[in-house]
Amino acid sequence: MSIEQAALLTVLGAVVFLDQWPAFQSMLSRPLVVGAVVGVVLDKPADGALWGALFEAVYLGLLPIGAARYPDAGLATLAGSAVALSAPASVAPPVGWAVAVALATGALGDHVGGFLRRWNGRTAVYVREQVTAGDLSAPGRAIAIGLLRGAALGAGVSAVALTVGLGGLALVVSTPWSGPLPRSVIVLAAAAALTVNGTRLFVDGRSRLSAWGVGLVLVVAAFGLMG
């Protein structure tokens, strides 16, 4: 990975972290999208799409409802995909190391997100005081500062994750400890995770079970007809 690519991924980390909840929430931070963008940055778009789909399957069931705490799936995907795509083409994809780095990055992103929420909470108290004192531009300033600090934290987490992930990759890539798996097995594992998490999420009654069965039968029939 070149310095330019690493810098681009760090900037992407800032955008992904902001998109997760502090700002846009346009789903640029979803694993499917992050994986594809990482693939484009590292000039391996097809592999990026595969790793994005894999992490989308793994993190599909995380729902940001109420006070739920959950790993930062976007930063996890950024680090995991970047590590997987940086392995030499001569070895099998180091899926074990990539998933481990992703899990650790997701947990770190969750902690940093909690820290940012508390920080923003203190800022909100400060904004009230400023508005009470007659400074009506305080909310706008607080939002701008909140975005800047979110971007800095997202970029920081990405930089740490990429450094650790790529540094570790150099040590484990040619050993069994990287979890080398053939591409076909990775696709099967991702499809299994997608099936399990999707079924768990949606099949909650007889009518949805029927829809699930219809989807299954239709696809098998379609493949059967195509031979």
Partner 1 sequence: MQGVGFAWAIAPGLDRLYPDPRARGERLLAHLEPFNSNPYLATIGIGFALRLEQEVARGSAGADYRLSRLIKALRSSLGALGDDLFWVAWRPTLGVIGAAVALATGSPIAALMYWIAYNALAQSVRWRGVRAGFASGAGIARVLQDPFWSRASGITKTAGAAASGAVLGGALWAASSGGLGGISVFFFITAFLWLAGLRRGSRGRWLSPSVAFLVVVILLSVVVRVSAGGLP
Site for partner 1 in 72-131 (CB under 8 A): 76, 95-96, 99-100, 102-103, 106, 120, 123-124, 127-128, 131
The answer for 134, left when phi > 0, alpha when psi is -120 to 50, beta otherwise, is left
- Does 227 bind partner 1 (CB under 8 A)? Our answer is no
Q: For residues 142 and 32, give the distance between their C-alpha atoms in angstroms, rounded to a whole number.
A: 31
Count of residues making up the chain: 227
| Region near partner 1 per CB under 8 A, out of 4-12, 82-90, 154-162, 214-222 | 214-222
Nearer Cβ to partner 1 (114/140): 140
User: Out of 14, 42, 58, 79, which residue is the one contacting partner 1 (CB under 8 A)?
Assistant: 58
Applying CB under 8 A, the site for partner 1 has a residue count of 92
The rounded Cα 6 to chain-centroid distance in angstroms is 17
User: Out of 13, 22, 74, 109, which residue is the one contacting partner 1 (CB under 8 A)?
Assistant: 22
Q: For residues 13 and 151, give the distance between their C-alpha atoms in angstroms, rounded to a whole number.
A: 8
- Does 36 bind partner 1 (CB under 8 A)? Our answer is yes
The rounded Cα 101 to chain-centroid distance in angstroms is 12
Chain positions 177 to 196 lying near partner 1, rule: CB under 8 A, are 179-182, 184-185, 187-196
**Within 10 Å of residue 214's Cβ, how many Cβ atoms?**
10
